Chain A
Amino acid sequence: MRGVRALALGAAALLLAAIAFAAQTASVAAPAASAWWVWPLGLFVACFLMGIVAVPAGIGGGTLFVPIVGSFFPFHLDFVRGAGLLVALASALSAGPTLMRSGLGSLRLALPLAVLASASSIGGALLGLAMPANVVQMLLGGVVLGIVVLMAVSKKSEFPQVDRPDALAQALALHGVFVDGASRRVVPWQVHRTVPGLLVFLCIGVLAGMFGIGAGWANVPALNLLMGAPLKVSAGTSSLVLSLVDSSAAWVYINKGAVLPMIAVPSVVGMMLGARIGARLLNVLKGSVIRRMVIGVLLFAGARALLKGTGLWP
């Protein structure tokens, strides 16, 4: 078992390094002269690998997609963000039904947060498409480095203590129940700090629309640490919020012509297939090690985006 785990970890590390290195080398060598199918195929392979590591690392594939593809592939950032939104949207839509049936995703909790975040994601998308690419690239680098810090330092609370819900949560009946498979307990839950939560989701929507990155990295801490939802409910509900937020933002990119099926389809399919393998490897791979490795790759991709935006590493 230890041998299998070491082998899998080594393979995952090599794969992540290969994504960045191969894409960077190829983009420098022949950005436009290669056969048309080389890049979609490379994108499919890269997304498949990202999908494998995203699940054990506990982040959405969309968070990896935009910084890595935007930094190391020849596609313009406008199309990368459009495809990134679709990657995050397709993943969230696919996971949504199962999460809702199991009670791990709460539609009642997701809807009020999604209304504000969807509206602000439209603004974020319009803003992102109006800004010069180098500015967006720099901001993206800053956000990705911020995600790295958040992933490295943020704590999680499996079952936060919420003594009593606030007035708004009570009025909207933001509570529920789920069966926790690990502890074999029926877990009733409720939330508090609903107004600050709504404001945080307003900001999250802007970031999701502007950069095309799935915002699970921000949704889960906001739901779990701020509003007091159990960790599993936070992760499940985050996916439902994402499915609505990314729908709104995706329409802006579609209407602006910034969605190229040739980039979006291999990305979506690769990521979804990789995520299936990643889910099966959950018991084999050590999540904390994969997480550290992903932090390393994001650190590199974030720095690359920042340097690309400033023109120091074009």
Chain B
Amino acid sequence: MKATPDALREPAQQPAEQLRYARLLDWGTRIGLIVLLLSFAAHVTDALQPHVPLERLPQLWTLPVRHYLIEAQMPTGWGWLALVHRGDILGLAGIAILAGCSIFCLLALVPLYGARGDKAFVAICLAEVAVVVLAASGWLAGGH
């Protein structure tokens, strides 16, 4: 099928749920990256005091993670939230936004699929949300 000049100027119209997901993902990614960069800048400039001094890092990042956690006295699971005022830990907030923004994008699709009676995709979206939430909960990783 040859595209009309109009079709070439504008991409083929995509489903509403795809466009909504794209819009929300765009914002989630931007916010995550901004938080990540600002926290990193605060960390390396010492604007926020780090939990682990920068000078100690070369000794610690060579260790397996379980030894690193003991040496650096780092919490696991969501324990980092209690230390989020520290420059190095604040970086995890940006990372958490990047890793978690898909949850909100997927939840926003449920009403659209539901209104159309597309039960299979309502179930698929909720199943994917459940998987990411389960991973984030720290329960499987023994984080709590």
Contacts and interface: CB of A to CB of B under 8 A. Distances in A.
A138 to B, nearest CB: 16
B63 A184 contact: no
Most buried by A among B36, B43, B74: B36
B62 A177 contact: no
Nearest to B27: A97
Interface of B: 1-3, 7-8, 11-12, 14-15, 17-19, 21-23, 25-26, 28-29, 32-33, 36-37, 39-40, 43-44, 54-55, 57-59, 61-65, 68-69, 74-78, 88, 91-92, 94-96, 98-102, 120-121, 124-125, 127-128, 131-132, 134-136, 138, 140-141, 143
B61 A103 contact: no
Most buried by B among A94, A246, A249: A94
A100 B19 contact: yes
Contacts of A93: 25, 28-29, 32, 98, 101
Interface in A173-200: 176-179, 181, 184-188
B58 A39 contact: yes
B64 A265 contact: no
B21 to A, nearest CB: 6
Interface stretch (A45-53, A112-120, A155-163, A300-308): A112-120
A300 to B, nearest CB: 22
A26 B1 CA distance: 57
Interface in A24-59: 31-34, 36-37, 39
Most buried by A among B64, B68, B131, B134: B131
Interface residues of A, number: 72
Contact of A265 (B29, B40, B54): B40
A265 B120 CA distance: 38
Contacts of B132: 118, 244, 247-248, 251
Contacts of A249: 135
B120 A115 contact: no
A214 B19 CA distance: 24
Interface of A: 31-34, 36-37, 39, 74-76, 78-79, 86, 89-90, 93-94, 96-98, 100-103, 106-108, 111-112, 114-115, 118-119, 122, 126, 129, 133, 171-172, 176-179, 181, 184-188, 243-244, 246-252, 254-265, 268-269
Contacts of A254: 92, 95-96, 99
Contacts of A181: 8
Given A185-B1, A259-B95, A178 B11 contact: yes
A257 to B, nearest CB: 5
Contact of B3 (A103, A176, A186, A252): A186
8 contacts: A32-B59, A74-B61, A100-B19, A249-B135, A255-B78, A260-B61, A261-B95, A265-B36
